[in-house]
């Protein structure tokens, strides 16, 4: 089942967010504020979905931070309406096409 973006936005508006340690560490390491990541999740573009991820389905979201592309991986628990920020990273041209949306075929 696909994740409903409206539900994710609702969870963000209610501050129903759980930051995984890895995401928090990477954000600090890269100087990215949590509010910037939340804005990317709220306003960004879903470029991949992972409906079979466990324990919750996930999404890969593309957004922009200080004119640089940024990917945010989230998971969403529809029963509790909580959004889990899994990781955040800058996509590179070795793995993604120039639009940062499509993975390169290997």
- Extract the tokens encoding 37: 């990541």
User: What's the pLDDT tens digit per position in 33-66?
Assistant: 999 999 999 999 999 999 999 999 999 999 998 8
Q: Model pTM?
A: 0.90
User: What's the pLDDT tens digit per position in 20-35?
Assistant: 999 999 899 988 999 9
Is the confidence at residue 1, as pLDDT, over 70?
no
**3-class DSSP assignment, residue 20:** coil
Share of the chain above pLDDT 70, in %: 99
More confident residue, 3 or 32: 32
CB 58 within 8 A of CB 87: no
């Amino acid at each position: 089942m696909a994740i409903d973006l409206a539900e994710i936005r609702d969870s963000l508006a209610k501050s129903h967010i759980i930051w995984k340690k890895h995401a928090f560490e990477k954000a600090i390491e890269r100087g990215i504020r949590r509010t910037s990541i939340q804005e990317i999740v709220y306003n960004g573009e879903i470029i991949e979905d992972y409906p079979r991820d466990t324990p919750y389905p996930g999404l890969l979201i593309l957004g922009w931070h200080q004119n640089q592309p940024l990917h945010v991986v989230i998971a969403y628990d529809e029963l509790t309406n909580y959004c889990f920020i899994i990781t955040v990273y800058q996509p590179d041209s070795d793995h993604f096409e120039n639009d940062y949306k499509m993975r390169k075929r290997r």
